[in-house]
Amino acid sequence: MNDALDRIAIRAPSFVTAPFRDTRLEDAFYWFRFQVAEYDSVSIPVPNGAVDLTGPVKFPFYTRMQRGDEYEPNLVSELETSLDESDVVYDIVSRFGFFSKYSALVGVQPENIHSFEVNRYRYYLLQENLDDGEQIVHSRVDSSTERRPVSIDSYTDRHKSPTVV
């Protein structure tokens, strides 16, 4: 069932999907897709422990991580030495929350972690993967006037400014 939903989500032409964008019908489609997918947990090794995530079995990222591959080792190393508990992290295009979870692992306070994801399916996965207290924003980060974007400037009017983006 989920394979069919994946094909619809990926291959449907934009003239078919565009009228449903940002509607309750689109939200229901992605919620159903999220509910019927097969998931597995993966523990991604990092220098000071592991980042545990849940994700779809067939997603290539999880296949690589289950083999024990590292994820962005240079960036992880840089973050390990530069992040502290007072930092404010904006994880833009958070996907499944790896960098948000890693920021918490190295001591950033949960309320200072802001994860941005426009894709509804991955937004639902973020809700599963992230802990309480972390901010999850379902929006495109943009300065244009497209549907429901948020700009960093407007977001920082209501939240702490980022020290790491």
Instruction: Give yes or no: residues 122 and 145 share one domain.
Output: yes
pLDDT tens-place string over residues 49-95: 889 988 887 777 777 777 767 788 888 888 888 999 999 999 998 88
Residues of the chain by 3-state class (helix, strand, coil), percent to 5: 45, 20, 35
> So what's the pLDDT on residue 115?
92
Q: Is residue 162 part of a domain?
A: no
Contact 134, 72 (CB under 8 A): no
Instruction: Give yes or no: residues 30 and 108 share one domain.
Output: no
pTM of the prediction?
Answer: 0.80
**26-29 — which CB contacts under 8 Å span 24+ positions?**
26/120, 27/120, 29/5
Instruction: Give yes or no: residues 152 and 136 share one domain.
Output: yes
pLDDT tens-place string over residues 30-49: 888 888 888 888 888 888 88
Instruction: Give yes or no: residues 13 and 88 share one domain.
Output: no
What the block records as the tokens of 82 is: 């530069």
> So what's the pLDDT on residue 145?
45
> So what's the pLDDT on residue 102?
93
pLDDT tens-place string over residues 82-92: 999 999 999 99
Contact 87, 108 (CB under 8 A): yes
Which residues touch 85 (CB under 8 Å, ≥6 apart)? 107, 108, 109
With CA atoms as reference, report the closest residue to 131 among 69, 54, 60: 54
Q: How many residues does the chain have?
A: 165
Instruction: Give yes or no: residues 30 and 53 share one domain.
Output: no
**Confidence check: pLDDT of 9 > 80:** no
